[in-house]
Structure 1
Amino acid sequence: MKRSAPLVPTFDSMLIPTIQALQILGGSGTTEEIYDQVVQILDLPDKVLEIPHGSTSQSEVEYRLGWSRTYLKKYGLLQNSARGVWSLVSTSINLDNLDTKEIVKAVRDAEKCKVVSSEPTIETFESIEPLELAWHQQLHKMLLTLEPSAFERLAQRLLRESGFIQVQVTGKSGDGGIDGVGIARINGFLSFHVLFQCKRYQGSVTAGQIRDFRGAMQGRTDKGLLITTGTFTRDAIKEATRDGAPPIDLIDGEQLVQRLKELGLGVKIATIESVEVDTAWFAKI
């Protein structure tokens, strides 16, 4: 008997849960916080969360949830800051008064998008995908083509640009998966040693791999950093911050490409100047 593929919720079915998530979070939250809350609200299993979106570092759920936020913003229910924090326009939104079909229709009409089917799915929007996602996909594909040693050097540069000092790539065989070491400085006064590991692939890092990394850290440092072009399972995220164990910070593919953009590493940002003639100004002369 053929097993059916796990059902990924459509973007429109996550519109109301996104509002609920922000209400639970007190009216505002980061992309990651919203994602975690929506996953809990919909009780999505790992087999669904681990389904990738094409060749990008995003999962299909993350991708579709991104469209949920976009539609809610265009509909006037959400806003987001330059720091990536999303917030409700009003804290008194009544979920009973929201109609997902009306939200989708209103936004599509505003964007002059043709409705392809009565039950929209994410494929409907491939043609209007934001330009930002194009560079995002291109950068992620570039990362996947790097040799392991080149990816380790990139991680080294990333940490240096982020304020780490004495960053060295070790990458020795039999070193328990430790790819490098560095010292993080805080406000120029405090510092602590960090061991980091790099995983250049599209899959999800598991809790077992987190435990293996922590085992390699044993007795060498109190802090770890794991950088991947892929994602982390929910169990892996929990394991990384488990009580009583040395903490391990996690950087997934989504965070990695965003950080590279912020630091201008392998990404060129062009600013387009817009000039308008102020006719009202001349009328006052």
Structure 2
Amino acid sequence: MPIPSYQRFMYPLLEMAADGEAHSMEEAYEVLAGKFNLSKEDRAELLPSGGQSRYENRVGWARTYLTKAGLLESPGRGQFKITAEGRRVLQSGITELNNQYLMQFPGFVEFKRRDRTVDETSSEEEVSNETTPDEQLEQLHLVLRRQLAQELLARVKQCSPAFFERLVVQLLVAMGYGGSVADAGKAVGRSGDDGIDGIIKQDRLGLDNIYIQAKRWERTVPSEVVRTFHGSLALQRASRGVIITTSDFSSSAIETAKALGNIVLIDGNTLADFMIEYNVGVTVAARYEVKRVDRDFFEES
């Protein structure tokens, strides 16, 4: 099931602390997962960066917001405990908490004043009420990455076929194949030779080769291209090959490659993603560090 928004976790988290005892976040993860019937798969879902589970991130921010509002306090590392104000909220009879309700507490107002993750003029204010600041930051990063991928692919399509073949070799070298660009470059230049556009070492020792077909196309690559390339590999007694295109592959082409088992298909979107990941054709414009409080630093022995 979809993981509830961090606001949905606020009241159950406060209610869990109603006994006045200190509770750990690990305990909260278990209790709330049971309350919302979350499966192991739900709890294992990661943020796009892969650095943290989406579920634990949302529960963590629910605790942070309640703490900023003064309804919870932190008696120790990774712990939370209800405050007198939090107990008063529970006794008021309210059954749901959200950001709007928390705005009555000065501590939360001040926190939100300093926490301008989403532009106040943006129409995404509703989104900010459903996602945590960590998720918003990652969403913005993904938007920028998608825009970069689109721009990158458009530029690649404007290049000459010869440049595209060199780009493919450079990318495969950056991914760990072929040793150096100079070594790999010597194997290129066989365009038209039984449908093989290039050959690159699979490993630095040159124990095996990967045969390449590079297609700077706008139209969808059909299954006939995959079958013809497979025949070319057989003529070369080659065990594996890669077809890289700036467009995409038909469903039958994808199924044919799966059935043959020795041909990898890389479409335009995947090509752009690989170029970004392995820094081919892109440069770093800015770098940001996201820092957190070092809780160990403040532990008193």
TM-score w.r.t. the length of structure 1 is 0.50
Gap change, CA 1:246 and 1:132, over 3 Å in 2: closer
Change in CA separation of 1:145 and 1:83 when aligned onto 2, cut-off 3 Å:
farther
- 1:13-42 Cα shifts (integer Å, max 9, x gaps): xxx9xx7xxxxxxxxxxxxxxxxxxxxxxx
Counterpart position of 1:120: none
Partner in structure 2 of residue 227 of structure 1: 244
1:197 equivalent in alignment to 2:210:
no
Distance 1:201 1:277, change over 3 A: same
Corresponding position: 1:155 with 2:155:
no
2:199 is the counterpart of 1:181: yes
In the alignment, the residues of structure 1 paired with residue 222 and residue 53 of structure 2 have an alpha-carbon distance, to the nearest angstrom, of 31
Mapped contact 1:158–1:260 kept (Cα < 8 A): yes
Residue equivalent to 1:260? 275
Deviations 1:203-254 (A, max 9, x none): 2211111001111212310101111111112211111121xx4610111111
1:189 CA drift (Å): 7.6
Q: 1:209–1:108: structure 2 CA closer, same or farther, 3 Å change rule? A: farther
| Residue type of the alignment partner of 1:247 | N
Unpaired runs of at least 5, structure 2: 3-42, 57-123, 130-141
Q: Which has the higher helix share?
A: 2
Larger radius of gyration: 2
Cα deviation, residue 276, structure 1: 9.9
* Cα 1:164/1:87, change in 2 over 3 Å: same
* 1:197 alignment partner, SS class: strand
Residue 172 (structure 1) aligned to one of 187, 191, 196? 191
Residue 88 to residue 206, structure 1, CA distance change in 2 (3 Å): farther
Distance 1:274 1:225, change over 3 A: closer
Q: Residues 145 and 178 of structure 1: is their aligned pair in 2 closer, same or farther, counting only changes over 3 Å?
A: same
CA offsets, 1:125-166, max 9 Å, x none? xxxx92322211110110100100000000111112222224
User: Map of 1:61-80 to 2, 5 A cutoff?
Assistant: 79-80=46-47
Distance in 1, matches of 2:291 and 2:257, equals 50
Say if 2:232 is the partner of 1:216. Answer: yes
1:207 and 1:237 in contact (8 A); partners too: yes
| Structure of greater relative contact order (alpha carbons < 8 Å, 6+ residues apart) | 1
Deviation at 1:87, TM superposition (A): 8.1
Tell me the TM-score normalized by structure 2: 0.48
SS of the equivalent of 1:225 reads strand
Q: Distance in 1 between matches of 2:251 and 2:126?
A: 37
Match of 2:115 in 1: none
Please give the secondary structure, in 2, of the residue aligned with 1:79. Answer: coil
Aligned residues: 174
Distance 1:177 1:88, change over 3 A: farther
Q: Please tell me whether the aligned partners of residues 80 and 87 of structure 1 are also in contact (alpha carbons under 8 angstroms).
A: yes
SS in 2 for 1:232: coil
Structure 1 runs of 4+ with >6 Å offset: 274-278
- Contact (CA 8 Å) 1:214, 1:246: kept in 2 or not? no
Contact 1:222 1:246 in 2 (8 A): no
Q: Deviations over 1:61-102 (max 9, x none)?
A: xxxxxxxxxxxxxxx995334369x98859xxxxxxxxxxxx
Cα RMSD, aligned residues only: 4.0
More strand by share: 1
> 1:93-128 CA distances to partner (integer Å, 9 max, x unpaired)?
xxxxxxxxxxxxxx872348xxxxxxxxxxxxxxxx
Identical columns (%): 28
The one-letter code sitting in structure 2 at the alignment partner of 1:201 is: W
CA contact (8 A) 1:222 1:247 kept: yes
